[in-house]
Structures are given as C-alpha cells and as structure tokens.
C-alpha cells in the first residue's frame, strides 16, 4: 500500500467515523477505501501542476499538523502502534502530511 494511501486511510477513518482503520466495520472500511482512492487520484493530478511546484510549506505548519495528530493519543506508544498498524512510521507520516498540506495549499491558491 503506498504511503499517501496509508495516510489517507488513517485521516479519513478519523474524519468519517472517528476511529482508526483497524476499528472500522467492514462496510466502513470499504467506504474509506473508496474515498481514499478517489482523493489520491485527485491529489496526484493537482500535485503534478506547476502551481504545486511553487508551493513551499513552512516547517512550523508541518510540525503543527503532526502535533494535532499526536494529541489524539494518550501516549507515544499508542501513537506509534497506530502508525505501525497503518503501515507508517513518524518519517512516513510527516512526508504524507507534507503532501496533504501542499495539496491543500494548491487548492487554496487556485480557489
């Protein structure tokens, strides 16, 4: 499973059902998978544009986004366990969040 897809599963599970992917019922998991695949296709197209190449994200934005995710967990062990279960580690999570933030920045710029 590609890392952006893993991150999207984690993100969308939380956004749509307020649970991690492992806590989803089969029909919920299927819905999240469909939405994640669709969003990934859109992101790939948008991130391939010249506008995306001009976006530079401040490190503080990335740090804040990671902190927001970490604070959902009671402790570091739970956080790392969920990442592992999603096929991510802290570095891969950071890369996926950076991609997500860049995607959002491009949308804001062209809107």
Residue 5: its pLDDT value, please?
86
Indicate the DSSP class of residue 23: G
Instruction: Please tell me the distance from the alpha carbon of residue 39 to that of residue 102, in angstroms, as a whole number.
Output: 14
Quote the pLDDT of residue 3.
65
Q: Tell me the average pLDDT of the chain.
A: 92
pLDDT digits (tens, 9 = 90+) for 3-35: 668 999 999 999 999 998 889 999 999 999 999
Containing H/E element for 20?
none
Across the range 38-53, mean pLDDT stands at 94
Residue 95 pLDDT > 60: yes
Written as six digits, the tokens of 56 are: 């530079």
Say if residues 72 and 40 touch (Cβ distance below 8 Å). Answer: no
Instruction: Report the C-alpha gap between 25 and 1 in whole angstroms.
Output: 20
Q: Quote the pLDDT of residue 13.
A: 93
Judge whether residue 86 has pLDDT over 70: yes
What's the rounded mean pLDDT across residues 23-48? Answer: 95
How many angstroms separate the first and last alpha carbons of the chain? 31
* Alpha-helical regions (H) of the chain: 3-17, 26-47, 50-53, 59-70, 76-85, 90-110
Query: What's the Rg (C-alpha) of the chain?
Result: 14
């Amino acid at each position: 499973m590609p890392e952006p897809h893993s991150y999207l599963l984690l993100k969308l599970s939380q956004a749509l059902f307020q649970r991690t992917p492992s806590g989803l019922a089969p029909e919920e998991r299927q819905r999240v998978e469909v939405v994640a695949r669709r969003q990934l296709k859109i992101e790939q197209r948008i991130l391939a544009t010249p506008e995306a190449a001009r976006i530079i994200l401040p490190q503080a934005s990335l740090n804040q986004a990671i902190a927001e995710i970490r604070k959902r967990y009671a402790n570091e062990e739970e956080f790392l366990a969920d990442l592992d279960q999603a096929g991510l580690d802290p570095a891969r999570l950071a890369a996926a969040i950076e991609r997500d933030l860049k995607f959002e920045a491009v949308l804001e710029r062209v809107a």
